[in-house]
Amino acid sequence: MNWGLAVNVYDTVHRIVEKCVIADQGGIDWLWVTDFPAVRHAPSLAAIVAENVKRSRIGVGLVSPLLYRPEQIVQFMSTLIDNYGERFDLLIGPGDRPQLSRIGIEYGNISMLVTRLVSDVTKIRDELGQRGYDGVRVWLGAQGPKMIAASIKADGVLLNYTDPKMLKWALSILGEIPKGFQIGAFPPALITENPDCSKEYGLRKSAATVAMGLGQSVVSEFGLMDTLSAARISLKQKRSIDQDVVDAIDEATLKRFALCTTPEGACNYIKILEGIGLDMVTFGPPQGTSRKLVKNLVKTRVHWDDTV
Amino acid sequence: MYRASVGLTTNMKASATGWVARNAADLGADGIWIGEDISLGQDPFVLAAATLLQSRGIRVGTGIIPIAVHNITTLARAAVTLQEIGEGRFVFGAGIGGIQDLQRRDIKIRRPVTALKEGVDVLRRLWQAENVTRNAEILHLQDYSLRLRKPVEIPVFLGVRGPQMLKLAGRIADGVILSGPFDYLRYAIEVIDKSSTETGRKRDEVEKVVWLPTIPTFKGMKEKLAKRVVAIVVADMPPPILDMLQLNREKLERIQAQVAANGPKAAAPLIDQEIMDMFAISGNREHMVDLFDELGEMGATEVVLGPPFSGEWREAMSEIFEEIALRRGV
């Protein structure tokens, strides 16, 4: 099982690099440098991360092709490789709809979104391949059934779920997995010795963001229609996820969309995911937001290596 | 005395840009400018990041990034990231972009001067840690901020050409990046100085960076290649600028027609020394630095060497910087 960590939310470059170095030295396999709505620019940040880390692979993304044209994405990936070697992967996804809307970018015809994204992923892979950058793995971030099914056209999928039941459902949609195709989970995570999950607003907000991004069919599939309806109404009014939206979701539901546990609990969780056929877990925010939490993840990794 | 820098473009190989970044300070360069050849070669922001990381102590700027080709928030985020990577050495050079490049991307800008002014204003407000809501021709923001804990100072240099753009730069820019024949540059610097003093700024408050093709013919670069480069520059020159020149207009039009019909190679024999000296910095090291000195006397605060890079360009660059240092009395 590969371990990943998502960095770059609202930190300075200096702090992001510090945390990446801790994660790299602590055996974390993948460092995912997120782009918008993060406030630093992921491709530029990936350059300084590459300059400072030795072992970890560096993932650029999530990057939205609604924000960057495929040729721009190919350009920054190839520039990173030309300057720092074959150490980079790419995660593509549509991006957060309300956040994109605030900067003048709309999803457009929603029924065409998956087709458009798959076409962009294909273009990016083909172009990178033609230029000889064969080592880049292009992942697709997926949550809805259409996107999950379409992700088979990429080199891997990062599933935006935490709950093993939901992940199993996603795997059932993928069907037969092509050779070499990688499957990862991307849970909002807080791994610490004494977690008080109900008080961790950062974690609850990340969980709520995932829950609010669910499509109608997924909400129905998991019987979440009633439990999420108040939060959905609140989000429609406020246009962004704030405390009121988060509070409108009950704790039991939020728990299904985030990992809040001790290092031992995290190892047990990873074992479960390994058992159902996943290749990677990337720990999402807030795990990457402080040095202390990154060190906790490193300790968890050591615990995993010692016990498994 | 003017500053002297090295110019790179995104269409150069990483081995060449890396060499310049690693050696620029030792050569005596005061900075590195990176021009974006849209969609060609390296990504301008990643190249700027790598250049900042590989260089020591010198200023690194984009020269220029076409503002309408990227989402304004990408520009804002990239500039903050680069300023942090460079620990204060980054300069954001922007412009509206070439009309043909924009047309190829289906980007139409009705009011380019206003668009550039609004773009710069929004970027500065975002860097000042403000929340911005703005609907303009090339940007749409609703309650957007960079969530900065404190403002970030990023100098803005504008790549401009026409009279209205030059006046705008004089009013709002920290610096300008100019290119064109010598007679035009004299005019442009006058317009910028006048505009800046009319706005209550000091005459020398706006830095003037002059970036012309530099073609050292003393280290293996063939004169034919130099002439081809100049033919392209002449072909791209808008008529109002040609009107300003003390050159035979018919001769220039013949070059333009030849480039359009048969390409720059066919037009190269029409380029004489007078045209070479008007549109490029070329020749041996002494002659090239004479021309830099002339630009300095004209009011340029910084001159940029290259590209094109050809022949033994590393040695040529080294010798030119030696000559500049000699004249500075270093």
CA-CA distance, B114 to B116, in Å (whole number)? 5
Q: Quick one: pLDDT at residue B39?
A: 72
Of A12, A68, A79, the CB nearest to B47: A79
- Please give the Cα distance from A37 to B39 (Å, whole number): 24
Residue B209 confidence (pLDDT): 98
Report the residue from A67, A80, A104 with minimal CB separation from B139. Answer: A104
The structure tokens listed for B175 are 């610096």
Considering only CB atoms, A103 lies closest to which of B50, B53, B73, namely B73
pLDDT digits (tens, 9 = 90+) for A137-188: 999 999 999 999 999 999 999 999 999 999 999 999 998 899 999 999 999 9
Q: B146 and chain A: CB distance < 8 Å anywhere?
A: yes
Amino acid at B59: R
Whether B81 and A105 lie within 8 Å, measured CB to CB: no
What ipTM was estimated for this complex?
0.93
Q: Choosing among A79, A105, A106, A124, which should be mutated to test the B contact, i.e. which has the most B CBs within 10 A? A: A79
* Cβ separation B81–A36 shorter than 8 A: no
Point out the residue among A40, A47, A67 whose CB comes nearest to the CB of B50.
A47
Nearest to B188 by CA among B211, B206, B166, B159: B166
Query: Above 90 in pLDDT, residue A18?
Result: yes
Q: SS3 of B246, please?
A: coil
B81 touches chain A (CB under 8 A): yes
For residue B151, the distance in angstroms to the closest alpha carbon of chain A comes to 12
Q: pTM value? A: 0.93
CA distance A20 to chain B (A): 15
pLDDT at position B238 is 80
Q: Is the pLDDT of residue A207 over 80?
A: yes
Beta-carbon separation of A104 and B140 below 8 A: yes
Per-residue pLDDT of B203-214, as tens digits, reads 889 999 999 988
Q: A interface mutation test: which of B45, B46, B132, B141 has the most A CBs within 10 A?
A: B46
Q: What is the pLDDT of residue B1?
A: 87
Could you read off the pLDDT of A244-280 as tens digits, one per residue? 999 989 988 999 999 999 999 999 999 999 999 999 9
User: Does A237 score more than 70 pLDDT?
Assistant: yes
pLDDT, residue A9, reads: 73
Token code pair at residue A178? 């092509």
Which of B10, B22, B36, B43 is the best mutation test for A, with the most CBs of A within 10 A?
A: B43
Distance CA A261, CA A129 (A): 41
Do residues A148 and A184 make contact, with C-beta atoms less than 8 angstroms apart? no
Q: B308 preceded by cis ω (within 30°)? A: yes
Give pLDDT, residue B102.
79
Contacts of B144 in chain A (CB under 8 A): 102-103
Best of A52, A82, A100 to mutate (most B CBs within 10 Å, chain B): A82
Among B53, B143, B148, beta carbon nearest to A48:
B53
Residues of chain B with pLDDT under 50: none
Give phi and psi for B290, each to the nearest 5: -60, -45
Q: What is the pLDDT of residue B221?
A: 67
- Which residue in the set B46, B77, B78 is minimally distant from A79, CB to CB? B46
Q: For residue A105, list chain B residues with Cβ-Cβ distance below 8 A.
A: 71
* Nearest chain B Cα distance for residue A92, angstroms: 16
Nearest-Cα residue of chain A relative to residue B139: A104
Please answer yes or no on whether B18 and A68 come within 8 Å at the CB atom. Answer: no
pLDDT digits (tens, 9 = 90+) for A279-303: 999 999 999 999 999 999 999 999 9
A65 contacts in chain B (CB < 8 Å): none
Residue in A12, A40, A76 closest to B46 by CB: A76
Q: Where are the alpha helices (DSSP H) in chain A?
A: 13-25, 42-52, 70-84, 97-101, 113-130, 145-150, 164-174, 201-212, 216-221, 225-238, 243-247, 251-255, 263-275, 291-307
Record: contact A13-B148, CB cut-off 8 A: no
As a whole number of angstroms, the distance between CA A229 and CA B159 comes to: 52
CB pair distance less than 8 Å for B74 and A78: no
pLDDT at B38: 73
Chain B residue with the nearest C-alpha to that of A83:
B14
pLDDT over 80 at A79, yes or no: yes
Q: Which helix (H) or strand (E) holds B31?
A: strand B31-35
Contact B74 A36 (CB under 8 A): yes
Please tell me the number of Cα atoms within 13 Å of B268 on its side-chain side.
Answer: 12
